[in-house]
Amino acid sequence: MAFTFQVREVPTKTARDGGSRAEFEITISYTSAGTATEAAVPLAGTDSSGRVYQLPQMGRIFGQIGDLTAGSGSTVDPVLGNVTDPATGAWRLENGTAGAQVFNYVADGIPYSFPAGGSFYERPVPDSGSDNAITTRYLLCAGLAD
């Protein structure tokens, strides 16, 4: 169940006030994912590329992308949440229909918040095997309002 993750911050302008709001992309890459494989991405730390990062404690998740690139599985059905086994969390972003590639965009975003020291938990959920290479990406921004 090997995985790596990277966090990238992109400062942007909000349409409403012309100010800046931090946006983030979390990329999780699995090399041997199975049906119960799970990755944890802490709110703060050092990612797999050695970059020190700080994710917002509260924000909105706008996008989910999943891509099954190799292995015995034929589809992925990713889920991201605030607890281990994220499908049971207080908040979560679940894919609707499994596919070899999935893309979900939520226009208003899904709000999330964590206590200090929280982590995102993600399962890529391939339909079979434990040898799947999968990349998932999540797009989020800081803050709960525009």
Domains identified in the chain and CATH numbers: 3-142 (2.60.120)
For 141, the enclosing helix (H) or strand (E) is strand 132-142
pLDDT tens column, 113-145? 988 889 999 999 999 999 999 999 999 988 876
What is the band of 18 on the pLDDT scale with cuts at 50, 70, 90? low
- Residues with Cβ within 8 Å of 2's Cβ and at least 6 positions away in sequence, in order, are 30, 31, 32
What is the band of 10 on the pLDDT scale with cuts at 50, 70, 90? confident
> Mind giving me the DSSP string for 63-111?
EEEEEEEESS---B--EEESSSSGGGSSSEEE-SS-BSEEEEEEEEEEE
pLDDT tens column, 68-124? 999 999 999 999 999 998 888 888 898 889 999 999 998 889 999 988 889 999 999
pTM: 0.90
- Predicted local distance difference test score (pLDDT) of residue 96: 87
